[in-house]
């Protein structure tokens, strides 16, 4: 049965448009049509009540949610719980993210994501391995005891083919050209992060296949007058994507404005770096045996080290509009269209247009999520 989503303001590739119905059949958008179109009259109508219909949000960095952490239990059940928690905030696609861990845990995480994709767990697009091939000098909350330099066995494990995408964050100075070449040749998306690399090393890595930057500004060498660092290389490069944590704590709004103005358009994307408190009533969780507490919206250790975030994608969009000053349509694309392109899913995800997956988020005038649809099925609201 065709569903017609009517009476909404729709974000299309041409901007916000009203007066159109979005037709959905079998989990796919079949077209946008005027209310007088016979297909609309014959369809099951769903009234959006004048609210805004956006492409579903895609989050490339989700450590946890709903009170659970992926590292603690890399299972299909945990992935499902995380997805359900984030769907409340408009996330229709996500990468469960494993921070630096031992090889056996990494293998379990990859297997769990593969199984989740095969079982059709809503929203799972693949896996993000954040480490362990990162720099001790920029470790953040990662456990340096887990760090190592990638070898042939690591490449073979990470590059195993499955139904989703694989994103790997590494420090370019800790990966050889041969390792980078093997990863890229096997379809792994490589991002630079938690790195002490200088500008020249980063530029070389970009030429060797690095495609993006994990949480720009955080855990990387800064941009200064005589040493552009990783941040300078990231902003200069027109082909790569940068993830931004827009929670008002990880990066100052002025720095965000400067970075967005400097970077090539369509290459900035929102991420949450979310931890278990998102979608949970419990503000505490345990990481590496240490209790992490959310204080004033910030996940931090007892000594004040940032430990992921308590951010959700709806709040990230709202902050990008209200705190940073980005237009609503551009902020929404930073949460949907641009991450889809980064993950190589730009032909199927991230647009409200015929032929694309029917993944939507409906927001009211206060940027609050009222409905979330994944594959043509309403999963929240």
Active site residues: 273
Residues whose CB is less than 8 angstroms from the CB of residue 261 and which lie 6 or more positions away in sequence, other chains included: none
Residue carrying structure tokens 């845990």: 105
The three-state secondary structure class of 158 is helix
Q: CA separation (Å) from 360 to 15, 234, 380? A: 16, 30, 11
CB burial string 343-378: b at 16+ within 10 A, e below: bebeeebbbbeeebbbbbbbbeeebebebbbbbbee
Asked if 100 contacts 130 with a C-beta cutoff of 8 angstroms, the reply is yes
Cα–Cα distance, 119 to 285 (Å, whole number):
28
The residue written with tokens 């195993």 in the block is: 160
Alpha helices, DSSP H, located in the chain: 38-42, 76-87, 103-119, 152-158, 177-185, 199-207, 229-236, 253-262, 313-322, 328-334, 337-342
Q: Tell me whether strands 369-374 and 298-300 are parallel, antiparallel or unpaired.
A: unpaired
Q: How far apart are CA 142 and CA 230, in angstroms?
A: 19
Run of H or E residues at 363:
strand 360-363
> Helix, strand, or coil here: 164?
coil
Burial per residue of 158-167, b for 16 or more beta-carbon CB atoms within 10 angstroms, e otherwise? bbeeeebbbb
Tokens (6 digits) for 240: 């790569």
């Amino acid at each position: 049965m065709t569903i017609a989503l009517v009476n909404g303001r729709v974000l299309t590739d041409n901007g916000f448009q009203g007066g159109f119905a979005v037709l959905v059949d079998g989990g796919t958008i079949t077209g946008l049509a005027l209310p007088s179109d016979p297909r609309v009259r014959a369809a099951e109508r769903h009234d959006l009540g004048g609210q805004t219909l956006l492409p579903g949000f895609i989050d490339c960095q989700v450590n946890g949610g709903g009170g659970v952490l992926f590292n603690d239990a890399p299972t299909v059940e945990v992935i499902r719980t995380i997805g359900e928690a984030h769907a409340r905030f408009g996330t229709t696609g996500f990468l469960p993210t494993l921070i630096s861990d031992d090889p056996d845990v990494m293998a379990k995480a990859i297997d769990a994501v593969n199984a989740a994709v095969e079982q059709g767990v809503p929203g799972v697009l693949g896996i993000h391995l954040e480490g362990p091939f990162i720099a001790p000098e920029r470790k953040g909350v990662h456990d340096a005891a887990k760090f190592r330099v990638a070898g042939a066995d690591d490449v073979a494990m990470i590059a195993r083919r499955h139904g989703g995408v694989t994103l790997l964050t590494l420090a370019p100075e800790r990966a050889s050209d041969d390792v980078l070449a093997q990863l890229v040749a096997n379809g792994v998306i490589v991002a630079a992060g938690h790195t002490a690399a200088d500008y020249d090393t980063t530029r070389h890595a970009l030429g060797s296949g690095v495609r993006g930057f994990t949480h720009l500004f955080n855990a990387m060498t800064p941009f200064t007058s005589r040493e552009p660092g990783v941040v300078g290389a990231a902003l200069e490069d027109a082909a790569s994507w940068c993830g931004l944590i827009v929670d008002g704590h990880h990066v100052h709004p002025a720095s965000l404005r400067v970075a967005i103005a400097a970077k090539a358009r369509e290459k900035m994307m929102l991420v949450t770096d979310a931890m278990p408190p998102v979608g949970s009533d419990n503000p505490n969780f345990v990481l590496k045996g240490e209790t992490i507490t959310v204080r004033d919206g910030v996940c931090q250790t007892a000594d004040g080290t940032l430990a992921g975030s308590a951010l959700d994608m709806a709040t990230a969009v709202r902050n990008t509009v209200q705190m940073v000053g980005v237009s609503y349509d551009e902020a929404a694309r930073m949460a949907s269209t641009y991450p889809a392109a980064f993950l190589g899913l730009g032909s199927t995800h991230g647009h409200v247009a015929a032929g694309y997956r029917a993944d939507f988020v409906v927001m009211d005038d206060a940027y609050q999520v009222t409905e979330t649809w994944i594959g043509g099925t309403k999963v929240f609201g």
